[in-house]
Structure 1
Amino acid sequence: MPKRTSATTTLQPQQQLRKNAANVTLSLPSNSGHQTTPSANERSCVAYECEQHAVANLPFNWQSLKVSLNDRISTLCLNEYMSDVHFIVGSSTTLPPTPIEQLPAHKFVLCVGSCVFEAMFNRPLSLNNEQTASNNDKIEVPDIEPIAFKNLLRFLYSDHVSINDDNVMAILYAAKKYCVLGLERLCVDFLKKNISLENALILLIQARMFDEPQLAAQCLDVIDKNANDALTTSEFYDLDLDTLCAILKRDTLGIREIKLYNSVIQWAKHQCSKNKLESTAENVRNTLGQGLKLIRFPLMSQEEFASGPAQSGILSDKEIIQIFLYYNLPSGYKIDFDDEPRNTGKEYSVNRFCEVENRWSYSGTSDRIRFKVDRRISIAGFGLYGSIREPYEYEVNIQLLHSESGIIIGQNESVFMSDGSTSTFRVLFKEPLEIQPHEYYVASAKLKGPDSFYGINGLRKITHECSADGKVTFHFAYASGENNGSNIDDGQIPEIIFCL
């Protein structure tokens, strides 16, 4: 009886990789296969295509038909001729089960291409076992699909491989297990070229599992730019906690904190359900673990926090009081939650005035202007005029309201130092505020300070070129009610600062 050994036992691959990698299917473009076109000689090779097995005998002087060394070696791929080892690949006990196939190979070729195969066939397997796999002609590989193992062999014999969206993760797992670096790079490059919103989350999980930091970084960039959509998908709710925390740590997530909070709570409830736990406040908090501290509650408006997280039962009384104190005490009050604003995209600004005049006075009412845009953007803040004389520090309360409903989307009390010039001075919200296309919003600023400059010859429509991000068109309109005299033609709030 020929001896049989298990490659899984011999190699002791990472348990998590073996558990998750074999059956991952990605949603990638249908024409995204990676295959090097073979030459005429390669096409004529017996068993060049790894899906087919060759006969055990080759015709006499078959070598004369193969011009190059690559031609001759690739002819032996999956060929019984001169084979000295067989792999029993696949398993009927996995979910879903994979077909079991016996694949022939040649130890010399395997050892030349893989240090793992070299160790299996020519080096001691452990300090306590001097026997090598060289005496075994049947090796079990239950953790790799036959199609992936065939592609691994094809690469070792010919430097060619057929990668597509259905097999890339299984091939990458095989390449990692047997330390075939060239094949690893081909798989990772394929994945990098095919990242999309639809597969970014599942690819992020795999990139972290396979220890591919560059691929993980590209996935996170896609998630940053599409956070509103990505963090409400079924794939998001299936993330592990470590991957969730990697996302929550991002300073560049393009999503409002209250929306991020709601998505994270839904993630925790989904995990509770999966683990057959009730979605109580205590269980949700325990499930979130360290992830709770990564939610930036100070970036929410006080109204958002009061009507949502403060009433959820997830936060302790101490944490709730601490956050309310943060809202109402002078800046610099320290709390346990991060208050660093998330950078939600590249920043741009539009100025609606053609000229600047003086003087504009303040009597306790807000300057206001109504506007709408033709695409979804995030409002970061406003540019305001300052003192007409010496430098002065203005106190200001800025707001963004939805015109039809009157709902305050966001607000911030701040100060800005003017220098006596006609320049505009930035006042920002705690986080960029997302607005929808073709709906009117009201920009409001209540200033406390001396007379300032103001703008004249206002524009009703501005189309701003945003380099690679395309165009944004603003339409300005009169805001009825108390507005301190600001209107389309002249007044305060010359600049809208926004992000894409």
Structure 2
Amino acid sequence: MTCSKGTMWQCRRSFEETNWRMLQDERLCDVTFLVGSGKEEIIMAHRFILASRSPVFFTMFCGSLPETNQTVDVLDIEPAIFLDLLRFIYTEECCVDENNVMALIYCSKKYELERLNEACQKFLNINMSCDNVFTILQHAIEFHEDGLEKRCLKFVMQNAETVLKSDGLSTISKEVLKKIIESDELCANELNVYDACKSWAIAQCNSKTDQQKPSWEELRRELGDLIYSVRFATMPFQTFAENVAIEDILTPEEKVYVFQTIAGIVNSNICPPFHTILRKRAKTEIVELQRFGQNRGKGWCYSGNPDVLNFQVSIPCKLLGLSLFAPNSIGSLEGKVSLQNSTSEMTSKDNLKIMYEKSKFSELVLFDKPVDIKPGTEYTIRTFLTGVKTFSGENGQDKVVSGPLEVFFSQNDNSKNGTSPTTSRGQIPSLTFEVKQYQ
């Protein structure tokens, strides 16, 4: 039997694709959803598919008190998000991005879709950045996502110097800001903490009035007792005098108290309102992340095609270089290595030459200058080499972790010489980073 022209899509598409086609065409749909908090939108679906994929929908349609109405109200989810949810239910595919990830986490909890939640959490692990972490944190608290809240706070603590200067700071609540700046784990210069509090207060004042420059009194009123979480007494005397004392957010009495505390004068008659414990400090460490296990191949050939690999990181860091497998017989390996982002080449190492040495399996190649690497951005390592056969890696990993640094590797279609995280073999055995560790 052959498929007729009118049913060709049923014959040539996967089970998931045909399900999605039936939904898009509203064929045999037997339940209608009224979706959205504002102007409700009608979205139709199939009870069988929904019940087969979600315990909540199963109870709704097949439980002891099944839903008998043809129309089901879903007023807490917007139409575009509900369609993303249906796409995942029908096909297990969903385009997760910054705009929908938190709403999809909410959907995954509401309808008990664990794999959707896993997809969202994976996206956040890879794409959390200094620019979006406050938005994610605020939503995590609102949705009671304790694990995600903990990851966000850890990211903020470890990248405070950059995060506290981001635009997202103005979006968080006073309670969240207080939780952040009260922490001993916050690795930031105290003057930057004070400046961040001022920036937050200015944004709050400006959101309530058209006045562009709030008074000191208004800023202090907005900050309230939040100001006592700034550890003024840990600032150097001159820093406090030149940057804080000349402003009038603190009262004259509070300024005198801080000056006395910095000078080591303790007045037992005054109850200290300010935190005085030093925060954590960062130290820089060099971290080499290995992609492969101990097993090595011995006959990797170079046919004039490049080996290419994409990667992303979980925290801001600097890339110092990478290692390349060495020749496994007398001779040499020559060529070029480059680092690229989506738009341009960021750095390169030209005129490389790696000579054969007995018992040498790889060689470290350092770029002339460290390169800043940001979370949420995809970078590409490209090697173009010629020469004798080399060693190669086996049992590769698509994710490697060292302390707070997580590196995620992915396939690049321009890799024409065999290197691929999806096949767990190839070249580029390690990347070397400069990472801030906290103590």
TM-score, reference length from structure 2:
0.55
Query: Given residue 289 of structure 1, which amino acid in structure 2 is its aligned partner?
Result: G
Q: How does 1:330-349 map to 2 (within 5 A)?
A: 335-346=272-283
Q: How does 1:31-430 map to 2 (within 5 A)?
A: 42-43=14-15, 45-48=17-20, 52-56=24-28, 80=29, 83=30, 85-90=31-36, 93=39, 100-106=41-47, 109-110=50-51, 113-115=54-56, 118=59, 122=63, 134-156=67-89, 160-165=92-97, 166-276=99-209, 279-329=214-264, 335-346=272-283
Note the C-alpha offset of 1:108.
Answer: 8.5
* Contact persistence 1:252–1:345 (CA under 8 A): no
Determine helix, strand or coil for the equivalent of 2:272: coil
Query: Given residue 231 of structure 1, which amino acid in structure 2 is its aligned partner?
Result: L
Offset from partner CA, 1:440-464 (integer Å, 9 cap, x none): xxxxxxxxxxxxxxxxxxxxxxxxx
Offset from partner CA, 1:36-79 (integer Å, 9 cap, x none): xxxx87357523368723522xxxxxxxxxxxxxxxxxxxxxxx
Note the aligned Cα RMSD (angstroms): 3.9
Note the C-alpha offset of 1:266.
Answer: 1.7
Distance 1:50 1:291, change over 3 A: farther
Determine helix, strand or coil for the equivalent of 2:33: strand
Distance 1:181 1:284, change over 3 A: same
Note the C-alpha offset of 1:157.
Answer: 5.3
CA distance in 1, matches of 2:283, 2:240: 27
CA distance in 2, matches of 1:277, 1:144: 33
TM-score, reference length from structure 1:
0.49
Unaligned ranges ≥5, structure 1:
1-39, 57-79, 94-98, 124-131, 349-375, 378-436, 438-466, 473-497
* Contact persistence 1:51–1:150 (CA under 8 A): no
CA distance in 1, matches of 2:74, 2:263: 63
CA distance in 2, matches of 1:51, 1:112: 15
Note the C-alpha offset of 1:332.
Answer: 10
Note the C-alpha offset of 1:153.
Answer: 3.6
CA distance in 2, matches of 1:55, 1:119: 21
Note the C-alpha offset of 1:106.
Answer: 1.0
Unaligned ranges ≥5, structure 2:
1-11, 286-316, 319-369, 371-430
Distance 1:313 1:340, change over 3 A: same
Note the C-alpha offset of 1:254.
Answer: 3.2
Note the C-alpha offset of 1:299.
Answer: 1.5
CA distance in 2, matches of 1:299, 1:51: 62
CA distance in 1, matches of 2:183, 2:124: 22
Note the C-alpha offset of 1:234.
Answer: 1.9
CA distance in 2, matches of 1:112, 1:172: 16
User: Equivalent pairs: percent with the same residue?
Assistant: 26
CA distance in 1, matches of 2:201, 2:194: 11
CA distance in 2, matches of 1:326, 1:240: 30
* Contact persistence 2:81–2:104 (CA under 8 A): yes
